Every structure is written in structure tokens, then in C-alpha cells.
Amino acid sequence: MTARQSLSTVGLLGGGVIGAGWAARFLLNGINVRIYDVDPQAERKVGEVLALARRAYAKMLLAPLPAAGTLTFVDSPEAAVAGVDFVQESAPERLDLKQQLLAQASRAAAPHVVFGSSTSGLLPTQLQAHMEHPERLVVGHPFNPVYLLPLIEVCGGDRTSAATRERARAVYSAVGMRPLLLRKEIDGFVADRLMEALWREALWLVNDGVATAEEIDDAIRFGAGLRWSFMGTFLVYRIAGGEAGMRHFMAQFGPALKWPWTKLMDVPEITPDLLDRLVAQSDAQAGGKSIRQLEALRDDCLVAVMQGLRQVGFGAGETLAAYERSLFSGATPPPARIDAPIEVQRRHIPADWTDYNGHTNDSRYMQLSSEAMDEFFRSIGFNAGYLASGRSFYTVESHVRYLGESKAGDEIVVTAQVVQLGEKRVHLHSVMARPDGTPVATAEHLYLHVDTALKKSSPLGAELLQALAPIAAAHAKLPRPAGSGRYVGQSVK
Amino acid sequence: MTARQSLSTVGLLGGGVIGAGWAARFLLNGINVRIYDVDPQAERKVGEVLALARRAYAKMLLAPLPAAGTLTFVDSPEAAVAGVDFVQESAPERLDLKQQLLAQASRAAAPHVVFGSSTSGLLPTQLQAHMEHPERLVVGHPFNPVYLLPLIEVCGGDRTSAATRERARAVYSAVGMRPLLLRKEIDGFVADRLMEALWREALWLVNDGVATAEEIDDAIRFGAGLRWSFMGTFLVYRIAGGEAGMRHFMAQFGPALKWPWTKLMDVPEITPDLLDRLVAQSDAQAGGKSIRQLEALRDDCLVAVMQGLRQVGFGAGETLAAYERSLFSGATPPPARIDAPIEVQRRHIPADWTDYNGHTNDSRYMQLSSEAMDEFFRSIGFNAGYLASGRSFYTVESHVRYLGESKAGDEIVVTAQVVQLGEKRVHLHSVMARPDGTPVATAEHLYLHVDTALKKSSPLGAELLQALAPIAAAHAKLPRPAGSGRYVGQSVK
């Protein structure tokens, strides 16, 4: 049983920005959520974050997500943890408050249930102090937005058991995250120490009038920040050191550490004047965009960056690819009904498929149809195991008719119809339509079954025919799809 | 005259990693380079960096680059600056060495020629001290790899003129960079101070045995680093603050600055033991990859991230898009020869177009052909101005035949042939072939000319017909392309 399967319901203590992000990540992974928060606005706020997450996942994932879990708001910590398989605490960063909440909830939860705390810097040894079964508390420190960023720092306290760490690692991995298991319990853990160091220096630069908030941000995002999205500071510097490696780099640049480049002092005092300047600069930088607009922009960028890295198979892209593989490995179920064209896929048009007018680029309909037909083939048993046996399909030719327009975010339903099934070939027709059935484009594809070692055509495997023949027989009774068999330019006056 | 046009030759003082990166950026933008370096290996090293840059640009840019500039190695600073339009100095980080080099070269350069220094932290007031015409010295601090990262910090000294700053800004912008004009001259400028702060904290974490180099890098690249590739620390924190903005964020998280999260001390002493640990951890992290392999991996990631951000139109993606527009705005020249299918585009297959086998995904040939036909249309005058007049083309249908295979990095030549030109429609056929002429795929497309306000078909504009009619007449004499007019499934036994 995978961790996701052994995780049917989680309890969330706290539904602010972080708690809501957790709710979204668990729900979209098919896990039920029970959430407790004292804020009367919590339900609205969680709903808004969930909407952002749905939007981002639709763009990010080709793989089908399981049916979403159900979200239940409860009015006590005890109700939040009743009958759940895992608890995540995301209360405000006050030790006494968190200690009390964890103690109270731990008395109500089943004894085996592991608790993760989202704290940014409080120590797990302190957090677990008053808990029943304190060995089941671990820090699981996520990063905003929790439903997109893969990093989670996992840190145990003095009494945390090895089994607790392992359970937390498995739970977080199952919902697409990248756990970093910390060796030592220290204030701020690892990531926040690095972020704080940079942030403190940034505040000095504003304090001293060297640069504005926007200029400092530009100094990050057009330079080092681009590299940091896939390689940390050590690997970047190794590369800068050239063939001679890290020792050479340290010899060359180590002395610069002693140069007067950084403020080796305490933090700048946040005077009213400095605060006013910070606020004014931040307002100028936001350029009138609301927080929701900024969040959507941030999410679009994160999705684009992670999708780009997925193509390279590195860093967060590797994490995303592994997550998608795990979603796919749920095995595409065979079609439920075969007496009509089969609904293969529902997708939202990604922002990067559209042109300057916001319309989907023509060539993307071919991609949409092609990827949906891949999904159809998976549903009849054409999977990694079949490929590994040295058999595959080559596409011989394709034809697309463009019938309407779509824009980024539009939902498109793709159906597949078997036009002809031969001994060695499959002819499919697809309709790409709006949810109301209005077609936006149609396509047809001819696939040849091949022996990949001999590089020549070969008969379809019996395991595929078993699934495909009944569909072909049923579809043979349907009318031939409109537009099928056309050639380009036919009957255009 | 644009800055690129007024920039025919640059002189480079220094050809190490940074100087070679400059050589690549200028050369690939069609600018000649004269380079001086004392290293007898300089020519080999510059060649290797240039090869990396060619590889990355082929993946990154759809827009056509001008013909590459010529690269000349010279044996003195004087020879490097003779007859050039701009000088960039990238010598080792030693003030005396740079001062002397700049002084020597400034006596040989024409008096109006601006000098940029790549120094990471030395002050321009000191660098210009002994120069002839010191007002023309500016720091232009780039980031590695110089041919890809857009950031360049531009900082003047006490004697630097406003005209010098403006010239440097224009030169760097013309080759696709994003200048950040600094307000004050400070040690380390802005970006290096931020990077040093994070790096110093990272060294403490290794020193204290809290985390390894690889774990620290993971704490960056799976979390904050992903955000930093498009938003800096201030905008990220503004979003974290929610609707109440930066003032609320500071009230909430400002106190954390006083928590014991960072080492408020001097830098850790780089003892032999710490150095050994650093080197061992860095070797482990590199996993046996050579520096060239790491560089190629880094470049693939940067290209993927920037291409992703281009689709969102934000951050470095906006810079890349503007750069591409400027490359395109050179106006696609009309075809030189029209008595044969017209070579429209040469492209290298991007890494993210390929499947698990490394083969180009079928649907990408449609994209390849479609984007090349867009380029063909631009060459006959279908441009932003024409679109703005309320006229456009809609694609009616397309047909692709898949004839061979290609892999990431393969060069593909796309040719266009006019099959038919009607009053309101254009029927094009394209061949996607290897440079030796072997076709990999063919496609045909039917385009309908439309009035975008009325949303109905309309006759092609006279300005397009003037360019297109002679091509159609010449192509009418050619044999009809093989495979044109086929329907899917035709004559397949």
C-alpha cells in the first residue's frame, strides 16, 4: 500500500495562508481534510487558496489527479483530529500557543497518528513537550505556496521516533513534495537561515539608500535567482571554480569573504522612517496589483519554471516528473462506456499555448489531440511494460481541422473514436470540444504498430487487441466522424 | 540607428570564464570581437564557452540571430581596443592589475569609446583613477554564464559621465541584457552583497555540521530559489503578508529578524579541516559530472526557466521576449530565390520537444511547420502593422506526414512551397528536413484571410499579394509536393 493509499483523511490545525495551502495540496491529491481555525473568515480564505491551487494544478499536471477529497470545517482541535490518519499544525508562530494546541489535539488523536508542525523556526523538542505520545511530533516546514513548492524540511526533536520521521517523509512525498531530512535541530532550520541572511542584507541596502525594494528584487531575479531555481550556491560556485573544483574556487574567492561586502552587524533597526520607505517602495513595486493577482502571477511563474525544469529532468522538475509518474502509475482505467466516442481527457488550455491575442496556437490542437490519444492508448494497456517488450506505435500521419477558438484556461474535453483497426494499424479520430459539446477542433491520426528492435511493422499484441477489438467493433456501428478522410483544401471554394 | 547597429566591433580585455562569456554574447549577436588574454590556453577556453553558448542559443531563441561576428585573438591591450566601438574589461579581481590595464588600454582607444569593467566589487572611482578620459569608465558587472543571465549592474564612479552610463546601458540592452543602474557606488554593489550574505550563512551551516553542501543547495533550489527566479525577496514577502501588504508583513515577521536564526558574526575561518569537508561534499554533490557537463546542465535549466517565464511574460522572460522582438524587428527579409521551395527556417530541436526515448514528439512537427510558416508570412509583409489594420489569417486545416525521426539538438531546415494562392486563401506545403535534405516530416496548411472585426473571410491585402503572387506563379511551375492532398489512411495497405 502506498502512503497516499494509507492516507484517507488529514486533520489541519490552522487555516491561514499555510494551512489553506496544505488543505489545497491534500484535497487535490484525493485526501479528505478536516480543518480547525478560529478565524470566522477561514472558510472564505481557504476557498480562495483552493481556487488558486486548482488553477495551478490544471496548468502544471498532465497526469490525472484522483477525485478531490472532501473539505470539512470543524470547531475544535479535537474534532479536527478525530479519525484522521495524519495531522498538520499551522498555527501562528507562538511557542505557547502551538504547545497548547498540540497537547490538546494529541489527547484526542489516535495514538499512532503522526503530527507535523509547519513552524518556520521553533524547535520540535519544545513543541512536543506537553504532547501525549510526544514521539510522534516532527517539524514539517513547508514554503509558500504550499500546494506548489516541493521543499519540506523534516526535523525531529529529542523525543521524536525514527518511525515518525519515516511516516512524515512518506506522507509528504506521496503528495508530490521533496522532504529534506535535517540532521540537527537548530533555530530557523536550514532554509530560513539562508533566506534571513539575504533578507537582512536587503534591509540594510534599503536602510542605507543604496537601492530600492524593486531594484534589490531585480538584482536577484535577473541574476542569481535564475540559477537558484535549480542549483544552490555550492554547485553554482563549483562551476565558477572551473575544472579545478571547489578547492580552487575557495582559493580564488574565499578571500572575498573578508572584503567589506556585507554588513557584519546586528539587524537594522526598523524605525518608522525605514518602515515608511519600505512600504512605499513595496507599493510602487506592486504597481497596483492586488494580492490575488500577484499570487496568480507567482503561481504561473512557478508552474512555468517547474515545467521547464521537468523537461530537463533536474531539480524541482525531477520532483514534478516523479510525482506525475506516481499519478500515472495508478494505471489509466479502461473506458467505462464504449458505445460512443470515448471521453479521454479534460484539460485546461495552458497560458503558454496562446498567441499574442490570447488564442490557442493552431499547432497546440495537434499536441492536445496527440497527448489525449496517448492517454487512450494507455487505457487499453499500452504502458511502460508493453514498451519494454520492444513493441510500440509510430504515427504515420495526422490531420487537424480548426473549427473554433479557445483561450488560456478554457476547459477542453477530448474524445476518441476508433475509425479503423487493422492487424498492424490503428486509425483514431478525436474531437476537442468545450464542455457543452461545441467542437473547437478535430483530428485524426494513423498509427502503425512496430517492432522497435527490427524497426518494422508488426501485428498488435494480443493484450492490446483484447481491449481494443470490442471498442473498434462498437465504434464501427457509429457514423463516420464528420471531417474524417478529408484532405487539405478539399471542397473549399 | 539602434545600439546594435552602432556596435560593429568590441574589444575584450581578459578571456577567462567571464571574458569568454562576453565574447560569446557579442559574437552571437553579430558583433566582431578582439580579445586579449595572457593565458596561452585562452583560445581553447573561449572556443569551449562559445560552443556552450551556441548550443544554448539554439534552444533558447526562435528569432533568427544575425550572422555571427568574427573572433580575433590579439597579443596586447592596445591591439584589443584598436578601432573598436566598446571595450569590456574582465581581468582578475586585483585593483592594481585592473587599474594598470585600463590605463594602458585607454591611451590606445579612440577617446569616445566607453569602457565597461566586469569587476564583482571594486569601485569604479578607483578603477578609472589612471585612465585617459576617465569619464568613460563604468562598471558593467555581469553574472555567469554571461551569455545567458540577463542581469548587469551598471555603476559609475565619481568621474563617470551621464553619457557613458547611457551608452553602456544601450550596449548591454542591445545584446539582450537587463541593466540595473545603481544609485550609489558601494563595495560589492547590490547583487554580490546579497549572494555573499547567503553564502556566508551557508558556510556556517557546513562549518557547524548542520547540513552538507548538497542539503543546503536542496534547501534553496526546491524552495525559495524557485521563487527567486522571477520575484525577489521583497515581492515574495509582500505576498506572504497578504492583503494588508508590507507593513503587515513587517509587523508579523520583523520580530523574527531578532531571533537567533543567523550567525551575526564574522565569517567562519576557512580552516584546512573545513576546506577538506567542503571539497569532499562538493565532489559528492557533483556525482562525477565534469565541469562541462555541469555547465551544459546549468544552461539547459536556465534556458528552460527563461523560456517558461517568457510564456508568462514576467521577469527574465519579459527580457527574453523583448530581446526576441528586437531580433524579429530587424524585419524578416523577403526570400532571395523564389524558383524553388523557399528555405524559411533552420532550427535545432529543443530538449523539451522529445519523449522518454529522446525522439521528437509527433505533435512538435506541426509546431515546427506552423512556426516556420509564420516566419514565411512575415517575409511577405504579414507583420504587426498588418495585424493592427484588422486583417489576419486563420488556419482552416493542416496535415502532417511523419517520415523519419529526430532527436534533441538535431538541426532541421524548413522549406515552404505555395501550393495554391486564392483571392482569400493560401495553401502552403512545408518540408522539414535534415541539412543533407533527408525529409523528417512534411506538412500542408490551408489559411483563410479574414477581417478580424467582422470575423469573416476577406481578400488578401494588396501589399501581401505584391510579394506573394510572384512566388505563387513561380511555384506553380514546380511539381506538386509529394504527399500533398493526401487524406489520413489513404493507400495504406
Over range B235-241, report the average pLDDT.
78
Provide the pLDDT for residue B2.
Answer: 46
How distant, in Å, are the alpha carbons of A239, B12, B291 from that of B91? Answer: 18, 9, 22
Shortest alpha-carbon distance between residue A197 and chain B (Å)? 6
User: Residue B245: which of A194, A219, A279 has the nearest Cβ?
Assistant: A279
The pLDDT value given to residue A2: 46
Chain B, nearest residue to A364 by Cα: B367
A228·B232 Cβ contact <8 A: no
Say yes or no to pLDDT of B252 above 50: yes
CA dihedral (A473, A376, A428, A465) positive or negative: negative
Q: Do A366 and B363 touch (CB under 8 A)?
A: yes
d(CA B76, CA B13): 9
Residue A100, SS3 per DSSP: helix
- B387 to chain A, closest Cα gap in Å: 11
pLDDT in the model for residue B203: 83
> Under an 8 A CB cutoff, do B217 and A231 touch?
yes
Cell numbers given for B315: 521577469
Residue contacts between A and B (CB atoms, under 8 Å): 521
Provide the percentage of residues in chain B whose pLDDT is more than 90. Answer: 49
CB–CB contact A219 B232 (8 Å): yes
Task: Provide, rounded to the nearest whole percent, the portion of chain A with pLDDT above 70.
Answer: 87
The closest of A315, A236, A234, A243 to B282, measured between CA atoms, is A234
Q: Which of A41, A195, A269, A289 to mutate to test the interface with B (most CBs of B within 10 A)?
A: A195
Cβ pair A488:B445 closer than 8 A: yes
Strand pairing of B137-142 and A425-433? unpaired
Residues in chain B within 8 Å Cβ distance of A218: 151, 178, 180, 232
A400 with B366: Cβ contact below 8 A: yes
Residue % of chain A over a pLDDT of 90: 49
Residue of A294, A302, A395 with shortest CB distance to B402: A395
Average pLDDT over residues B422-450: 95
Write the residue in A243, A261, A262 that is nearest to B291 by C-beta.
A243
Average pLDDT over residues B475-493: 79
pLDDT of residue B265: 44
What pLDDT was estimated at residue A237?
A: 80
| Least confidently predicted of A253-257, A375-379, B393-397, B405-409 | A253-257
- pLDDT for position B354: 72
Select the residue from A62, A221, A303 to test the B interface by mutation, using most B Cβ atoms within 10 A: A221
CB contact under 8 A, A197 and B444: no
Q: Which residues of B touch A214 (CB under 8 A)?
A: 234
Mean pLDDT taken over chain B: 86
Residues of A in contact with B267 (CB under 8 A): 257-258
Average pLDDT for residues A81-105, to the nearest whole number?
96
- Residue pLDDT, tens place only, A18-49: 999 999 999 998 899 999 999 999 999 899 88
- Closest Cα of chain B to A406: distance in Å? 13
Q: Is A439 helix (H, G, I), strand (E, B) or coil?
A: strand
- C-alpha distance from B232 to closest chain A C-alpha (Å): 4
Q: Are B55 and B24 in contact (CB under 8 A)?
A: no
Identify the pLDDT of residue A269: 63
Residue B181 phi/psi, 5-degree rounding, is: -85, 115
Which residues of A are less than 8 Å from B149 in CB distance? Answer: 222-223, 226-227
- For residue A299, the surrounding DSSP H or E stretch is helix A291-312
In Å, what is the CA distance from A306 to each residue of A60, A237, A327? 8, 23, 17
Phi and psi at residue A189, to the nearest 5°: 55, -145
Contact across the interface for B199 and A233, Cβ inside 8 Å: yes
Contact between chains at A178 and B222 (C-beta distance less than 8 A): yes
Q: From the list A226, A302, A370, which residue is nearest B302 (CB)?
A: A226
pLDDT at B62: 64
Q: Which pLDDT band, with edges at 50, 70 and 90, does B99 fall under?
A: very high
CB contact (8 A) between residue B182 and residue A211: yes
Q: Tell me how close the Cα of A15 comes to any Cα of chain B, in angstroms.
A: 14
| Residues written for chain A | 493
C-alpha distance from A106 to closest chain B C-alpha (Å): 28
Q: How far is A102 from chain B (nearest CA, A)?
A: 22
CA angle B87, B91, B95 (to 5 degrees): 105
Identity of the highest mean pLDDT range in A260-264, B182-186, B319-323 = B182-186
pTM confidence score: 0.74
Best probe of the B interface among A144, A155, A201, A276, by most B CBs < 10 A, is: A201
Above 50 in pLDDT, residue B335?
yes
Contact B305 A302 (CB under 8 A): no
Which pLDDT score, from 0 to 100, does residue B415 have?
A: 95
B396-410 average pLDDT score: 89
In this prediction, residue B164 carries a pLDDT of 97
* Residue in A195, A199, A196 with CA at minimum distance from that of residue A213: A199
Among A218, A488, A490, A493, most B C-beta atoms within 10 A, so best to mutate, is A488
- Per the structure block, which three cell numbers stand in for B382? 504579414
Nearest Cβ partner for B242 among A291, A308, A369? A291
B273 has a pLDDT exceeding 90 = no
**Distances from the Cα of A335 to the Cα of A325, A340, A354, A383, A417, angstroms:** 20, 11, 31, 15, 12
Q: Which chain A residue has its CA at the smallest distance from B370's CA?
A: A363
User: Taking CB atoms and an 8 Å cutoff, what residues of chain A touch B231?
Assistant: 217, 221, 298, 301
Q: Are strands A114-117 and A86-89 parallel, antiparallel or unpaired?
A: parallel
Of A221, A264, A266, the CB nearest to B232: A221
What's the rounded mean pLDDT across residues B274-292?
Answer: 70
Q: Is the ipTM of this complex over 0.85?
A: no
What's phi and psi for A329, nearest 5 deg?
-70, -10
A-chain CB neighbours of B305 within 8 Å are 226, 229-230, 305, 308-309
8 Å CB contact of A198 and B202: no
Enumerate domains of chain A plus CATH numbers: 9-189 (3.40.50.720), 192-288 (1.10.1040.10), 333-476 (3.10.129.10)
Cβ of A191 within 8 Å of Cβ of B220? The answer is yes
At residue A243, φ and ψ (nearest 5 deg) are: -50, -30
In whole angstroms, what is the distance from residue B475 CA to residue B427 CA?
12
Most B CBs within 10 Å, among A123, A143, A199, to test the B interface: A199
Residues in chain A within 8 Å Cβ distance of B324 = none
Cα A147 to Cα A56, A126, A291, B194, distances in angstroms: 9, 27, 17, 28
Residue contact B191–A143, C-beta within 8 A: no
Closest approach of chain B CAs to the CA of A363, in angstroms? 5
Nearest CB neighbour to A232, from listed B193, B216, B246: B216
Best probe of the B interface among A237, A261, A428, A457, by most B CBs < 10 A, is A261
The residue whose grid cell reads 590579439 is B74
- Identify from B234, B248, B369 which residue to disrupt to test chain A contact, counting A C-beta atoms within 10 A and taking the largest count: B234
Least confident of A213-227, A350-364, B215-229: A350-364
Indicate if the pLDDT at residue A390 is higher than 70. yes
Query: Using the beta-carbon criterion (under 8 Å), do A309 and B295 form an inter-chain contact?
Result: no
Note the pLDDT tens digit of each residue in B339-356.
999 998 888 787 667 765
Alpha carbon distances (Å) from A223 to A195, A299, A402, B146, B258: 16, 20, 41, 10, 29
- Cα–Cα–Cα angle for A20, A23, A29, nearest 5°? 145
Say which residue, A210 or B5, is predicted with more confidence: A210
Query: From residue A380, how far is each of A338, A374, A445, A452 by CA, in Å?
Result: 12, 10, 17, 19
Q: Compare all CA atoms of chain B with the CA of A444 and give the residue at the minimum distance.
A: B488
Residue B368 Cα, gap to closest chain A Cα (Å):
9
Closest CA to A70 of A84, A88, A59: A84
The pairing of strands A456-457 and B9-13 is unpaired
pLDDT, tens digit, for every residue of A295-354?
777 777 777 787 788 777 777 777 777 776 666 665 567 777 889 999 988 887 776 677
Beta pairing class for B178-181 and B151-156: parallel
Q: Do A399 and B487 touch (CB under 8 A)?
A: yes
**pLDDT (0 to 100) of residue A48:** 87
Could you report the per-residue pLDDT of A109-158, keeping only the tens digit for each? 999 999 999 998 899 999 999 999 999 999 999 998 999 999 999 999 99
> For residue B278, what pLDDT is reported?
63
SS (H, E, C) chain B: CCCCCCCCEEEEECCCHHHHHHHHHHHHCCCEEEEECCCCCHHHHHHHHHHHHHHHHHHHCCCCCCCCCCEEEECCHHHHHCCCCEEEECCCCCHHHHHHHHHHHHHHCCCCCEEEECCCCCCHHHHCCCCCCHHHEEEEEECCCCCCCCEEEEEECCCCCHHHHHHHHHHHHHCCCEEEECCCCCCCCCHHHHHHHHHHHHHHHHHCCCCCHHHHHHHHHHHHHHHHCCCCHHHHHHHHHHHHHHHHHHHHHHHHHHCCCCCCCCCCCCCHHHHHHHHHHHHHHHCCCCHHHHHHHHHHHHHHHHHHHHHHCCCHHHHHHHHHHHHHCCCCCCCCCCCCCEEEEEEECCHHHECCCCEECHHHHHHHHHHHHHHHHHHCCCCHHHHHCCEEEEEEEEEEEECCCCECCCEEEEEEEEEEECCCEEEEEEEEECCCCCEEEEEEEEEEEEECCCCEECCCCHHHHHHHHHHHHHHHCCCCCCCCCCECCCCCC
Q: What is the pLDDT of residue A1?
A: 36
Could you give the CA distance from residue B381 to residue B333 in angstroms, rounded to a whole number? 9
How confident is the model over B279-302, as a mean pLDDT?
72
DSSP state of A478: S
C-beta atoms of A397 and B486 within 8 A: yes
CB atoms within 10 A of CB A130: 14
Mean pLDDT in residue range A185-206: 86
